Amino acid sequence: MEEKKGRAVVLVNPRATYAEEVSQKCYPPLHLLYLAASLEAAGFAPVVVDANAQALPDAAIAARAASSRPFLLGVSVYSDILPHAAALSRALKNALPDARLVLGGPHATSAPEKTLAQIPEADFVLTGEAEHSLVALALALQDGSAFTEIPGLWRRENGRAVSGPPHVFPDPKNLPRPARGLVQDVYDARLYHSLLVRRRPVDTLLTSRGCPFSCGFCYNFRKKYRARDPWDVVEELLSIRERGIRDVEIADDTFTADEGRAMDILGLIIKERLGVSFRIKSRVDVFTERLAARAREAGVYLVAFGMESGSQRMLNAMGKRITLEMSARARELCRENGFACHSSWVVGYPGETPETALATERFILAIKPTTANVAALRPYPGTPVYLEAEAAGTLAGDWAPDMEEYPWVRLPWTRTRADLEGLVRRMTRRVYFRPHYAWGFGRMIVEGANWMLARYAVQEAGKVLFPGRGREVLR
């Protein structure tokens, strides 16, 4: 068996819909780098192709994969890029007909049987977090053993999709650290970036997995919250710093879910004097004064919140379990501590009316977050809102490789998805085309000599003013 060790496995991070635009951020494919590290530990030779950061066309991805002569290919599948994932799968199998293709990621996890049916080039689907199951699949293919007991694996048998045991949740304390060296060329090209900072490259880090909360529109399948030891987190940060990186996003779904643990990590960062700046994600209801003060001392410069709506009725419908007062207070804490406050907002959730959308717009204008990302609801497969809309007959369209637009949920006052998209554009225009934001972003651009931010602002203004341009490309 020893001579079989070192066989290549190629993992592909596909292009996002915005891959060829000026993007808000572009981060290393941490999920694939974790998988690659587990494959390396098992004796395989993983190759990671970050087609998103490098904006690679499918032909170039396939050629790069073929040069490694892999026996197994892996592709991450997200609902938003399903048409592209299907086209990429065809290109890979055409270039490597003898290699087996496995799909994973959020969409594949949410709809594994349908994913196998919609992408016939795929041999397998792995659901959930696949550090252990991908290694088990690679070993089974290498040794010719059975697939039946691999957790989370779906495959075809006699023309139908069959599954093994349910996927398991790896303990992040026992996983090897991400194999960042496999995309060193992308780091060296300084393609990993964050729009609000000039320093490149940036990096990301996970201190926990899963989310203890359940919002109605979120397809986060990792409901089981698991956390790493604070000192282990800081040791990884030290290794990132040793590579010359000075800006990191802590990519946990909610870094502040456990206030005591977050305080411990931030305290260790302060003690080590890392000299690294951070972005973190938080819910508004768990962002406290003491946490904000320690985050400021540790080097946090931006906090991202899912505020979602300016209507309490809509927040309740979404299952957010927050109040408008909490959102306003979180914004104020950011202002008091000098943090940039990034906020996200959803329009078009069941129960939305023109009046509740206007309430959201007015609330954004009242609290003035640094950035406000307003988006039309995307009912992802398997989420509560998707299942409820499907049962009620209000789900318009579905996620498929041939979709021309994203699915949406019909509301009494909407006829097409364009009605929602038009509303989002109007809200965005009314928020950003005001002196407060024009002055604020102008100041960030000039004082920081941040010309990428300037290009992004022009790009996004064009989308709002000329909606025919910059239309999302699904393929």
Per-residue pLDDT of the chain (475 residues; tens, 9 = 90+): 334 458 999 999 999 877 678 778 899 999 999 999 999 999 999 999 999 999 999 999 999 999 999 999 999 999 999 999 999 999 999 999 999 999 999 999 999 999 999 999 999 999 999 999 999 999 999 999 999 999 999 999 988 999 999 999 999 999 999 999 999 999 999 999 988 887 889 999 999 998 888 788 887 645 688 999 999 999 999 999 999 999 999 999 999 999 999 999 999 999 999 999 999 999 999 999 999 999 999 999 999 999 999 999 999 999 999 999 999 999 999 999 999 999 999 999 999 999 999 999 999 999 999 999 999 999 999 999 999 999 999 999 999 999 999 999 999 999 999 999 999 999 999 999 988 888 888 888 888 888 888 888 888 888 888 776 444 445 4
Q: What share of the chain is helix, strand, coil (3-state, %, to 5)?
A: 45, 15, 40
Judge if 99 and 202 occupy the same domain. no
Residue 160 tokens read as: 């139908």
Judge if 271 and 321 occupy the same domain. yes
Domain count, the chain: 2
Residue 303 φ then ψ, to 5°: -125, 130
The region that residue 185 occupies, defined by phi over 0 for left and psi between -120 and 50 for alpha, beta otherwise, is alpha
Domain membership of residue 470 (yes or no) is: no
Judge if 360 and 420 occupy the same domain. yes
Judge if 157 and 203 occupy the same domain. no
Residues 6+ apart with CB under 8 A from 48: 10, 11, 12, 13, 29, 32, 33, 36, 179, 182, 183
Q: What is the dihedral of CA 377, 380, 385, 391, to 10 degrees?
A: 120
Domain membership of residue 412 (yes or no) is: yes
- Single pTM value for the model: 0.93
Q: Quote the CA–CA distance of 236 and 30 in Å, as a whole number.
A: 13
Q: Give the pLDDT score at 366.
A: 97
Query: What's the CATH number where 418 sits?
Result: 3.80.30.20
Q: Which residues pair with 203 in a beta bridge?
A: 248
Residue 95 tokens read as: 């270039």
Domain membership of residue 417 (yes or no) is: yes
Q: Which of 163, 180, 202 is the last residue of a domain?
A: 163
Q: Give the pLDDT score at 85.
A: 96
Q: Give the pLDDT score at 442.
A: 85
Judge if 215 and 86 occupy the same domain. no
Q: Quote the CA–CA distance of 428 and 365 in Å, as a whole number.
A: 11
Domain membership of residue 177 (yes or no) is: no
Q: Which long-range contacts (CB under 8 A, 24 or more apart) does 107-112 make?
A: 107/77, 107/78, 107/79, 107/82, 107/380, 107/381, 107/399, 108/77, 109/167, 109/221, 110/79, 110/219, 110/221, 110/380, 110/381, 110/382, 110/383, 111/381, 111/382, 111/399, 112/154, 112/161, 112/163
Judge if 197 and 151 occupy the same domain. no
110 lies in which domain range?
2-163
Q: Give the pLDDT score at 212.
A: 80
- Residue 240: exposure state from Cβ atoms within 10 A (0-12, 13-18, ≥19): buried
Q: Quote the CA–CA distance of 76 and 89 in Å, as a whole number.
A: 10
Domain membership of residue 187 (yes or no) is: no
Judge if 419 and 330 occupy the same domain. yes
Domain membership of residue 424 (yes or no) is: yes
Judge if 227 and 128 occupy the same domain. no
Q: Which of 144, 163, 182 is the last residue of a domain?
A: 163
Residue written as tokens 């990671």?
A: 48
Single out the residue of 39, 89, 26 nearest to residue 61, CA to CA.
89
Query: What's the CATH number where 39 sits?
Result: 3.40.50.280
Q: Give the pLDDT score at 451.
A: 81
Domain membership of residue 130 (yes or no) is: yes
Residues 6+ apart with CB under 8 A from 458: none
Q: Give the pLDDT score at 468.
A: 61
Judge if 232 and 116 occupy the same domain. no
Amino acid at residue number 161: A
Q: Give the pLDDT score at 223.
A: 66
Judge if 301 and 436 occupy the same domain. yes
CA distances from 14 to 17, 35, 77, 328, 403 (A): 10, 16, 8, 37, 18
Judge if 222 and 341 occupy the same domain. yes
Q: Tell me how many degrees the CA angle 58-62-63 measures, rounded to the nearest 5.
A: 115
E strand spans, 83-232:
100-104, 124-126, 153-157, 160-163, 193-194, 203-205, 208-209, 226-227
Residue 92 tokens read as: 């890979």
Single out the residue of 400, 401, 379 nearest to residue 389, CA to CA.
379
Domain membership of residue 302 (yes or no) is: yes
Judge if 106 and 219 occupy the same domain. no
DSSP structure string for 266-326: HHHHHHHT---EEEEEE-GGG--HHHHHHHHHHTEEEEEEEEE-S-HHHHHHHT----HHH
Q: Tell me how many degrees the CA angle 111-113-117 measures, rounded to the nearest 5.
A: 110
